[in-house]
Amino acid sequence: MEKASVFGADFLGDDSFKQAWIRTDADRNIGFGHMVRCQALAAFLPKFTFLVSEPSVPFVPDGIPFMVVASDFSVIEAEKQSLMFESGDLLIIDSYLATADYVRALRQRGIKTIQINDLPQDALPANVVINHCPGLSLSDFPALPETEFWLGLEYRLLRPDFQQPASIDPLKKAPHLFMCFGGTDGGGLAQNALGWAAQLSPACRVSAVVSNTQSYIGSLFPGLTLHSNLSASEMRSLMAECSLAWVPASTLSLECLVSGLPMIIGITAENQRFLHRGLMEFPSVASIGQWDTMNPNDLLTLSNAMLNQPAMERHIPSSTKLSNRILKLLS
């Protein structure tokens, strides 16, 4: 049988696997985290098609097969979509707009469903709910007796380049700050952070990942390098060079964790609170609270202290459970 490569995961061409469909969206208002998580999950799928609404089309990564569907998650829309599916197909949903009625309508038609979740109180009655925040338990979620919960870092939805945890380097690295605040930052936080970073020791290099380097030329200072449009492998390589990160408590912070990069995290959106809580279990992670209300002097004091700390052990489980369980659902 011909071998097909899907985002770093290899599968034998086996028609016994059911089709997977991935319903999500991305743009500069809702962010790109949903699309990134779904792209990560696609690495474990033998065959899949993304379902996106029209505004998301420019943000679908190259090489991903997709179809355009209506933006709503009504029962009527579920019935329309189900005409594309066969009984036993799998629909993966990553959207805050999805509803319980939409999921139930699909399940009644024999469609298996997975919800990618980051707000436990908003868990849907899907066959499976995945939430990769560390430290969660079933008590954090509403009672859904027909739903199976896949919780924690064993089910992390990170791109293939970030699946394998880095080994701890016992040698202390030269001070090098990594900073990135994601695609939804309109520039205000990143702009401010560059001003704060300029106050660190002159010996500290700074690598800032921004959406458009031209917007930040006025913030340049010695030791600063601006990056944009990095691939996953380029991002991981950059993280490996650094000794501290300033990041939101988002999927980006999990990429730092797996890369072995100590970090200072803060909240930039309400949906980050559970991940923020879970990340604080790791000794290599410190919190500044809310990025938009924190005291810059506190940030600089904490950063200088962490830049002078040796590497710290952290225990990150393998994520083999995700691959095995997804394939079982599709067989």
Give me the mean pLDDT over the 140-163 stretch.
93
pLDDT of residue 186: 55
Give me the mean pLDDT over the 88-109 stretch.
95
The domain 176-307 having CATH identifier 3.40.50.2000: the answer here is: yes
Kindly report the pTM of this predicted structure.
Answer: 0.87
pLDDT digits (tens, 9 = 90+) for 229-239: 899 999 999 99
Residue 151 confidence (pLDDT) above 80? yes
pLDDT of residue 100: 97
Taking the CB of residue 55, how many other CB atoms lie within 10 A of it? 15
pLDDT of residue 224: 96
Residues of the chain with CATH 3.40.50.11190: 3-159+319-330
The domain 3-159+319-330 is placed in CATH, from the list 3.30.750.24, 3.40.50.720, 3.30.420.270, 3.40.50.11190, at 3.40.50.11190
Q: Are 168 and 313 in contact (CB under 8 A)?
A: yes
Residues of the chain with CATH 3.40.50.2000: 176-307
261 class by beta-carbon count within 10 Å (0-12 exposed, 13-18 middle, 19+ buried) = buried
**Antiparallel, parallel or unpaired: β 176-180 and 244-248:** parallel
Least confident of 84-88, 239-243, 283-287: 84-88
pLDDT of residue 320: 67
To the nearest 10°, report the CA torsion of 63, 65, 71, 74: -150
For every residue of 40-77, DSSP letters joined together read HHHTT-SSEEEEE-GGGGGGSPTT--EEE--S---HHH
Euclidean distance between CA atoms 277 and 280, whole angstroms? 6
Euclidean distance between CA atoms 227 and 79, whole angstroms? 44
Give me the mean pLDDT over the 268-286 stretch.
93
For every residue of 104-146, DSSP letters joined together read HHHHTTT-EEEEE-S-GGG--S-SEEEE--TT--GGGS---TT
Euclidean distance between CA atoms 107 and 87, whole angstroms? 9
Outline where the chain has alpha helix (H): 33-42, 75-82, 100-107, 188-197, 232-241, 251-258, 273-279, 296-307, 320-330
pLDDT band at residue 16 under the 50/70/90 scheme: low
Give me the mean pLDDT over the 220-248 stretch.
94
pLDDT of residue 173: 82
Q: What's the half-sphere exposure (Cβ side, CA atoms, 13 Å) at 198?
A: 11
Residue 273 confidence (pLDDT) above 90? yes
Residues in CB range of 53: below 8 A, 6 or more apart: 25, 68, 69, 70, 71
Q: Which residues pair with 17 in a beta bridge?
A: none
> Of the candidates 32, 9, 34, which has an alpha carbon nearest to the alpha carbon of residue 23?
34
pLDDT digits (tens, 9 = 90+) for 173-195: 899 999 999 765 655 899 999 99
Least confident of 6-10, 15-19, 307-311, 325-329: 6-10
Backbone angles phi, psi at 12, to 5 degrees: -75, 140
Q: Give the mean pLDDT of the chain.
A: 88
Least confident of 24-38, 54-68, 196-210, 309-323: 309-323
pLDDT band at residue 73 under the 50/70/90 scheme: very high
Q: Are 39 and 7 in contact (CB under 8 A)?
A: yes
> Of the candidates 322, 269, 275, 247, which has an alpha carbon nearest to the alpha carbon of residue 118?
275
208 class by beta-carbon count within 10 Å (0-12 exposed, 13-18 middle, 19+ buried) = buried
